[in-house]
A and B are shown apart, each in its own frame.
Chain A
Amino acid sequence: MNTLSHDNHGLRLFVRYLVLTLIAAIFVFPLVFMVMSSLKPSQQLLIDSGSLRAFLPVGDISLNNYTMAFDRAPVALFVANSLFITGTTVILSLFVCSLAGFSIAILSWRGKAFVLSAILATLTVPFETIAVPLLLMSSKLPWIGMDGLEVGWLNSYRVQIIPFIADGLTIFLFVQYFRDIPSDLVEAARAEGASWSQVYSKVLMPLSGPIIATAAILKFLVMYNQYLWPLMVVQEEGYRPVLVGLQYFFQLNTAWGEIMAYLSMITVPVLVFYLFLQRAFIASIASTGVKG
């Protein structure tokens, strides 16, 4: 009986891992295809795409596509631009949105329910619907820079960062998370004489690792994948981000191998960022299913 039970357990474990492996493969295969294709000439890449060879490093393998991608477009510039824009926005967004969430979730003031409703209502408005008014506004906003007062934010980093610092989803995430933190902690800190800013910085934020990681990853993905907005507000190559840069590779005779090389390179920062915050992200997702 014991043997049977043991075998049964082993079989269940085997099936479970088989299913998990298959699911993992579904998610990993596009990445494998991308990396393998980046090592092949365009013609071979297209021919291989109809068979399992597409996922294998076979045939005329080389790093030529990477070299040619650097020749075709200023890849390093685009990646640096995207990382700067994304990194700055993520940091500022975490700060501003967590403060807003703190105010709504912890502080008592009249009208905060209405403000939260208004913030949540912004989630229903697609960016595309406000893109044109935002463009017109951005083209006329003043700015004090190195050359004194300027009019217009077009062709700059700030026009790609500032409109995205505050967003409804990130504020909502922080509100929900702060509300789930036992109020005893806040009350105890206040009783000990802590100011509200100390409650925010010394009590709540140190406990908010999972939600910070989640908000950071979501914001990172949104910002790193920006295409429409930079296309509208940036005409100078020096400020272009990675996804607009991707268009450099779509020519009359599309260089598929170079596209795959470019995509492989620009995917690396996303993977590194995700792996860096993975544990906290999973903890946050897991905690959403736990009722206190």
Chain B
Amino acid sequence: MKHFKLTTGALLLSTALANSAFAATELAMWYHGAGNEVESAIINQIITDFNNSQSDYTIALESFPQGAYNDAVQAAALAGNLPDIIDVDGPVMPGWAWAGYIAPLPIDEAEFADFLPGTKGIWNGTLYSIGLWDAAVALYARQSTLDELGLRKPTLDAPWTKDEFMAALDAAKASGKYDYALDLGTAWTGEWFPYAFSPFLQSFGGDMIDRASYSTAEGALNGDAALEFGAWWQGLFTGGYAQATQDGADRDTGFNTSKYAFSWNGNWAAIPTLEQVNDVVFLPAPDLGNGSKIGAASWQFGVTTTSKHPDGAAAFIKFATQDKYLAAFSDGIGLIPSTASAAAMTKNYSSGGALEVFYGLSEAQALVRPVTPGYAVVAKVFEKALADIANGADVADTLDAAVDEIDADIAKNNGYSK
């Protein structure tokens, strides 16, 4: 009987040890791509490859629709229910790092040295997240339009100056062929406003907030450069170049149906446009005095502070950032791969590819949105200010009020210090 007990005990112990030795630890991951078949297929392929590549961890994916993702993460953080790995939109990252949702990424930043600047989620000098792609905005035009209006085709090295840009709008308006010279996409509310339009402000020399201290918007959003920008912005609408309020359908089809001569739009719209407008060209942002600027930073992966296996989570993120996966995402959903070597593997961003210009734009002109936990408020205030100015509000008063609102939020949150 004693032998039987010993044998049984030994068997049970060895089975348990064997199981613990071979059972992979499951890591939960949340991703914003539900509803996008192509994106889901790629992320699932990466997870399958990772799970098959080693035996320590398995990744269990839960996908959310993008529109519901941020709210779901915030609710889960409140309820103490965060997974190990989450993806986070670039401008949102500092807020989530500050709130303690995500931890510094346990991967040496040097490993991402060749990544586009906008794909690195760096806050307070620490890398929190890394993206597999970036996005860029360009001025869509037709080559035939440039030719008919006698306009020089701007390049990265020699973008249009402010005068050239306004002359182009004047020429388009004077031609009488278009309802409006410029489609700014004012139908797209929300993050589009700070993402697409704050680079104009930065090109004038202003900004949404003082980036040296991140403690005030005074001087940045209501200084001389900002006032000049505000007057110019308002002039686009009072001058009849663009619409302050736009129908969503016009935004989606207006450029392709020649309602607009130029359209300020992202690389995500480039493929559908190429299919319908055979001589479309993607022009760099105009230099409004302080260099050409466009927005940067898209979705990135990070490790949560509640993860019990940050090394495993980091191992997956490192695995996912291989060039072949960056290229797969780019080919699949049209976004800009994070590295030049991955770009060379893609059909659109490789040398001679239809969207090659966007990689150059991201590399040369991109400026990330203010890297501060207060960005969520800054973005909302900026959007409202720009919409008000577009609809005729006094520029100086509106920008002063915006500064007051942003500064009040910073003060209320003790400067968003850790």
Contacts and interface: CB of A to CB of B under 8 A. Distances in A.
A235 B62 contact: yes
A251 B35 contact: yes
Nearest to B257: A47
Contacts of B68: 231, 244, 247
B148 to A, nearest CB: 25
Contacts of A42: 252
Given A235-B81, A247-B65, A252 B268 contact: yes
Given A135-B75, A136-B78, A236-B62, A249 B249 contact: no
B80 A139 contact: yes
B72 interface: yes
B125 interface: no
A113 interface: no
Contacts of B147: none
Interface in A209-253: 228, 231-233, 235-237, 244-245, 247-253
B249 A139 contact: no
B269 A253 contact: yes
A50 interface: yes
Interface of A is mostly: helix
Interface in A113-142: 132, 135-136, 138-139
A46 B37 CA distance: 23
Contacts, number: 81
B71 interface: yes
Contact of A232 (B30, B64, B75, B252): B75
Interface residues of B, number: 31
Contact of A247 (B66, B247, B269): B66
Nearest to A249: B35
Nearest to B271: A253
Interface of B is mostly: helix
A73 B35 contact: yes
A147 interface: no
Residue from B63, B248, B249 with most neighbouring chain A CB atoms (10 Å): B249
A78 to B, nearest CB: 11
B245 interface: no
A192 interface: no
Residue from A46, A73, A132, A135 with most neighbouring chain B CB atoms (10 Å): A46
Nearest to A251: B36
Interface in B253-281: 253, 257, 266, 268-269, 272
Nearest to B69: A247
Contacts of A248: 34-35, 65
13 contacts: A43-B252, A43-B253, A47-B257, A49-B249, A50-B247, A71-B37, A138-B79, A139-B81, A231-B72, A232-B75, A233-B75, A237-B63, A250-B35
Interface of B: 30, 34-37, 62-68, 71-72, 75-76, 78-81, 247-249, 252-253, 257, 266, 268-269, 272, 333
